[in-house]
Amino acid sequence: MALQVIEPKIRGFICTNAHPTGCLKNVRSQIDLAKKDIESTENTPNVLVIGASTGYGLASRIALTWGYGTNTIGIFFERPPSGNKTGSTGYYNSAAFHQMATQDGFTAISINGDAFSDQIKQKTIDEIQEHFGQIDLVVYSLASPRRIHPKTGIDHRSVLKPVGDSCTEKTVDLTNENIIDITIHPATDEEIANTIAVMGGEDLEFWIEALLSENLLAPQANIVAYSYIGPKITDQIYSSGTIGLAKIDLEKRVNAIDTRLLDQINGHAYLSVNKAVISQASAAIPIVPLYISILNRIMDTKDLNEKPIDQMIRLFSEYLGPNLVPIVDENRRIRMDDRELRSDVVAEVNEKWSLVNNENFHDLADFEGYKRSFRNLFGFEVEGVDYDQPIETEVTIPLV
């Protein structure tokens, strides 16, 4: 037992604790959105979600479980509670997911460990062989700042920097909550290579190779990996920066995997380009929090905004659900960012971006909403939670 009154510990874009009841309510809210009458089928689809505890990965697992009744195996690397320290938000999210999946009669298996490692890949293979037989869909949604390479042992660490030239742009100081100009110097060749090693597509290739070698991908199985492109405003720090080069590497490898799957199992691999959303990862990218604060105000006004669960419900109901052939762009990308990059939205974002300063910041950008949503990620400021009450922090997940 570890009853505590939990208050958020936030500095800038980092929150070091989480509230289990708030996380539970967040997961339940997503489930309520995803729930629909599930038609019974002779063969229930089996899904592997790599990066299953937060953001788009968690939303995918929820949308597929409560939308289609799928059996899921989820991989994540989360910190359990220990003594007076809470678990991570992803840990509590996963505990909540399991609690409600069990209540509703769904099969869910979870593995907590480094998805980049050969050991976790082998453990996943063992679980699939024992419980599922084969996998019909693989969702790849890893977000990590570092990767210890399983073959070389090298500890690769990613950076968020422009490539070639320095980038000077306005951003919001998350600690002091004011608009500042920031200059970010370009990455070195070594930093670029390390970022590609962490955020590129090599690990996905290793996963698919491991699954194919054991005949664990079902005929016509699909793979989907998540990416982001964004507008011109964030281009230097994102699409044309180190992370953008990593995403290009991911896309190239997804296309190579698609060719291989088509030949071997008549399957496919896709890249889904998703909308910019509030997350601990995106909060760490300079320029992006201010951009999202302006974007969300505009998209809310137009009734176009989507959270990760909304995006994933749409992805699997319109593009990658049972018996669907996804519509893709000229580069074979599924464009879930279509509303973010709609011409009228982009034009209004550009206009407000050119005007925003410390005097009109809160009028042009929904920074209060940004802060609230950021705290929500960790279970704080969630409607209906009494934060003055001590709460049990020792929560368990039925891990294998």
Catalytic residues: 238
Q: Which helix (H) or strand (E) holds 216?
A: none
Q: Which of 163, 203, 201 is nearest to 184 (CA)?
A: 163
Residues 291, 172 contacting (CB under 8 angstroms): no
> Residue 308 and residue 163: Cα distance in Å, rounded?
29
Burial of 361 (0-12, 13-18, 19+ CB in 10 A): middle
> Residue 87 and residue 97: Cα distance in Å, rounded?
15
Residues 224, 269 contacting (CB under 8 angstroms): yes
Angle of CA points 205, 207, 210, to nearest 5°: 105
**Phi and psi at residue 219, to the nearest 5°:** -55, 135
Which are the contacts of 167, defined by CB distance < 8 A and separation ≥ 6? 183, 184, 186, 236, 237, 241
> Residue 50 and residue 141: Cα distance in Å, rounded?
6
